[in-house]
Every structure is written in structure tokens, then in C-alpha cells.
Amino acid sequence: MKLICIGRNYTDHIKELENEKPTDPVVFLKPDTAILLKKQPFFIPDFSDDVHHEVEILVKINKVGKHIQKKFASKYYDQIGLGIDFTARDLQRQLKEKGLPWEKAKAFDGAAVIGDWLDKTRFPDVDNLNFSLRKNETLVQQGNTSHMLWKIDEIIEYVSKYFTLKIGDIIFTGTPAGVGKVVANDKLVGCIENTQMFSITVK
């Protein structure tokens, strides 16, 4: 099982971090050890003073595929979820300045929150999903998949050129604007439309 993550997939988020708009999807991986165990709090790692929440729509792959054409991509997933890509922003900044990979800032233990899953048939259009994150009952991030630079099927087509997709693989599709620092005792609640998908505490 692997976690395939897409960066810089929402224009407003690109602007807020003053990044360059990519011409192709930005792809990075997280190991399965990054998954935050169910009902466990998220512990801020001791190597960062600036860990940010990034809420994202997730897709779970349900069949093996390679070089998948966009027109067939929808056959490779039937569940939609919501999660958080926790990012040690200070460490990421240092690594980017040196031209080094991001893994230490993105793939550390507990850095991937995976909430509940919903059957995609529940939604009329997966490319028009509202989702949100509340921190201590305050709305901090909200997005709609229609604003993605690369939609879900396009992401599957692109990443399957490079990686064989296997059953159980999860794709993190990118975060909208509003990312921010978490501190101890924060409570984070994520929703798709009006359905709560996860609730976690920060330690």
C-alpha cells in the first residue's frame, strides 16, 4: 500500500504559499507508517515548530492498473474519503531552499490522516464536491473539487504513467487555501458536504 500525494492542485493555495504554478501535477509519496492510527491523537513532532494542516479529498484504488487512460480512470476507484496531509512547514522550507526532497517534512509518522470512506455513487459528481476543515469549531479550510487544476481522473491517468496502482493505494488530491499551524489541544474536524469524515485532537 502506498499514499500518492498531489501538491499545488488549487490555485488559491499556490498563491498563499507563493509557489510557482506547475505545468504538471506535483507528486510525492508517503509510506504507510505515515498513517495516523484510528482514534489516536496527532502528536506534533519534536523536530518542527510549525506543523500545518492540509485537508484533502482522498481516493482509494480498487483494482490494479498501469498507464490508465482518463476515460477509464473512474473504474479504478469507488470510494471517496477525506484526510489531512500534515506538513512540517519550517522543515519543508529548509529542504526546498537546498533543493532537497520533502519527505522528512511530509512523510513522518502520523503525517497522514485518513478518515471514513463513502461510496462515490452517493455523489452526483465527484468533480463538484464541497469539503471543509474546522479547527476548534472555526472554519479554516473549505474547497470544492471543481477548483482542482487536475481532476481525479486526470490525476489517476498521470500518476499511473509512473507508478503501478494497486488495490488499497490512496491518492491525496491536494489542498485548498487556508492551511495553518496546529498547536496542542486543537481539535480538527473534516467534512465532505455535511457528513463528518474525521475528528482528531492534537497533542
Q: DSSP E strands: which ranges in the chain?
A: 3-7, 26-30, 51-53, 55-61, 77-85, 87-88, 112-119, 130-135, 138-144, 170-172, 180-181, 187-192, 195-201
The whole-model pTM stands at: 0.95
Model pLDDT for residues 59-95, shown as the tens digit of each residue: 999 999 999 999 999 999 999 999 999 999 999 999 9
% of the chain with per-residue pLDDT over 70:
96
Residue 164 pLDDT class (50, 70, 90 cuts): very high
- Rounded to the nearest integer, the mean pLDDT of the chain is 95
Q: Hey, what CATH class is 3-201 in? A: alpha beta
Look at residue 100 and tell me whether its pLDDT is greater than 70: yes
Cα 118–111–142 angle (5° rounding)? 55
